[in-house]
Structure 1
């Protein structure tokens, strides 16, 4: 499981999935070691984690500015229990979004100063596919056809006094009709644009890390026709 907390990726992995430790800048053998923010630098691996460790990690990620941290990977022998524990700390909302392609490139939206992919909350009674398609069409005013799933992302945010964990299902989509394309202004979207590969690579420096992850998964799945 990969969760983005304040745009920092927290990966929970089974021991056999951790891989080569040389991929990390710092490795901490937990064993009830007191975790503190000074340890949160570069690409960090924390081994032999427990519930206390996870609680400390979540607190630090939510409350501290961690400019030197790239990512945290937590080795969890009791993987399912740790994932369930993390989920229990949040209200979970489901969302859907799309990577829309055509001969013009990939469809991006500009919202609140950042480039993004169209997405939104799944309504009651909708499937993730239905919700993703509706949100893309509403935010960009284009007609699309859903093809296949790309990946799922998780990210956290705070709304009032509630901690939210949003699960977003991402789908590859084809553009059917973009003749009336325009941004949904009431959702703070000020631009909708088709981007080629060069433009996308630049946009990825001004977006969320979760969107970079979706884009990387998309590139492995299928390259845009015109880039």
Structure 2
């Protein structure tokens, strides 16, 4: 099973069917994503389940429906156990970005966090999970797969938001401030915590 977000609405891609939710269930191989996304974004459909009987074919089949964009990012903690957040498009988010040619996913995660925040001395400590969301670029819907890593750093210098990426603010947040920030964040970011 995979959770895919369109804005804050959920699409579940699964090889299991919940009999109580059959009215929200569509065959993955037959679904028209333009139609599905318009129903979800207009509020006519609150969520959807995309079904395919073979679990191993779920992602490959989804990738044939929506072009895949790979990205990576980090949930970064400093020596005070504070979490690094960016503020972009009116929401608190974590730093992440697209993979560049010739770069592996871990390199992408480290580079993107540093570019978007100015934080140096990053060390990946663990893989957290992958998240999926749908976005539109050049009139075409795409599926973004983001690989998330737990990171740590001893960096205590100045933070530099990458304004070219519409990042307005970069801050370290303690546990209480993190919980507050998550109230104005994306569902896929909440999954990481």
TM-score (norm 1): 0.74
Once residues 44 and 179 of structure 2 are traced to their aligned partners in structure 1, the CA distance between those partners, rounded to angstroms, is 23
For the 8 Å contact 1:5–1:61, the answer to whether it is kept is no
**Selected match of 1:100 from 76, 87, 103:** 76
Whether 1:165 and 2:143 are equivalent positions in the alignment is: yes
Asked if 1:63 is matched to 2:63, the reply is no
Structure 2 distance, partners of 1:163, 1:27, is 26
Residues 75 and 83 in structure 2, CA contact (< 8 A), matched pair in contact too:
yes
**Which whole-Å CA distance do the structure 2 matches of 1:156 and 1:50 have between them?**
15
The residue correspondences of 1:169-184 to structure 2 (distance < 5 A) are 169-184=147-162
- Corresponding residue of 2:95: 118
Q: Work out the number of aligned pairs and report it.
A: 188
Bigger Rg, which one: 1
2:105 alignment partner in structure 1: 128
CA distance in 1, matches of 2:58, 2:111: 34
Structure 1, unpaired ranges of 5+: 29-38, 216-227
Within the candidate set 65, 74, 83, 1:89 is matched to 65
TM-aligned CA deviation for residue 178 of structure 1 = 3.0
Confirm or deny: 8 A CA contact 1:141 1:178 kept in the other structure.
no
**1:146, 1:174 within 8 Å by CA — same for their partners in 2?**
yes
> Quick check: 2:118–2:161 contact (8 Å CA) kept in 1?
yes
User: Any runs of at least 4 consecutive aligned residues in structure 1 with deviations exceeding 6 A, and if so which?
Assistant: none
Q: Distance in 1 between matches of 2:105 and 2:165?
A: 20
| Shift of residue 113, structure 1, vs aligned partner | 0.9
SS at match of 2:153: strand
Separation in 1 of the partners of 2:45 and 2:171?
A: 33
Separation in 2, partners of 1:91, 1:50: 15
Aligned to 1:12: 13
TM-score, structure 2 length as denominator? 0.86
**Alignment root-mean-square deviation, CA:** 2.2
Aligned equivalents of 1:50 and 1:108: distance in 2?
A: 35
Q: Secondary structure, in 3 states, of the residue corresponding to 2:154?
A: strand
Distance 1:201 1:67, change over 3 A: farther
CA contact (8 A) 1:12 1:79 kept: no
1:100 to partner: Cα distance:
0.3
